[in-house]
Amino acid sequence: DIQMTQSPSSLSASVGDRVTITCRASQSISIHLVWYQQKPGKAPNLLIFDASSLQSGVPSRFSGSGSGTDFTLTISSLQPEDFATYYCQQSYSIPPTFGPGTKVDIK
């Protein structure tokens, strides 16, 4: 199975900050990387697929980049509704596997 890691595990930021989260795969997954946002008590919400394709309805302040083994999720200007946990997931092979998550909270 492909192992996914994320850094940092948590971060504190202020509204308006630029936030970057990193995800790494244990082997090359091309561009088959997905990002989700999850708020407490809610199901995850799809943000980005294929490393950089923005899901319909997701604000443009979210962007993704990377290929191979190293990927990033960037929030260009953090908004109050963006405080949540973010997960990456590889969709390259079965079983799909998730990173451990990055919790973004208020500084």
Partner 1 sequence: EVHVMESGGGVVQPGGSLRLSCAASGFSFDDYPMHWVRQGPGKGLEWVSLISGDGGSTFHADSVKGRFTISKDSSKNSLYLQMNSLTTEDTAFYYCAKDNGLGSIFEYWGQGTLVTVSS
Query: For residue 10, what are the β-bridge partners?
Result: 103
How far apart CA 10 and CA 50 sit, in angstroms, is 24
Which residue ranges make up the site for partner 1 (CB under 8 A)?
A: 1, 32, 34, 36, 38, 42-46, 49-50, 55, 87, 89, 91, 94-101
Q: How far is the CB of 77 from partner 1 (least distance, A)?
A: 26
Q: How far is the CB of 45 from partner 1 (least distance, A)?
A: 8
H or E stretch covering 17: none
The smaller minimum CB distance to partner 1, of residues 33 and 78, is found at 33
Q: How far is the CB of 41 from partner 1 (least distance, A)?
A: 9
* 41 contact partners, CB below 8 Å, separation of at least 6: none
The smaller minimum CB distance to partner 1, of residues 15 and 50, is found at 50
The smaller minimum CB distance to partner 1, of residues 27 and 77, is found at 27
- Spatial strand order of the sheet with 62-67 comes to 4-7, 19-25, 70-75, 62-67
Q: How far is the CB of 16 from partner 1 (least distance, A)?
A: 28
How far apart CA 36 and CA 46 sit, in angstroms, is 5
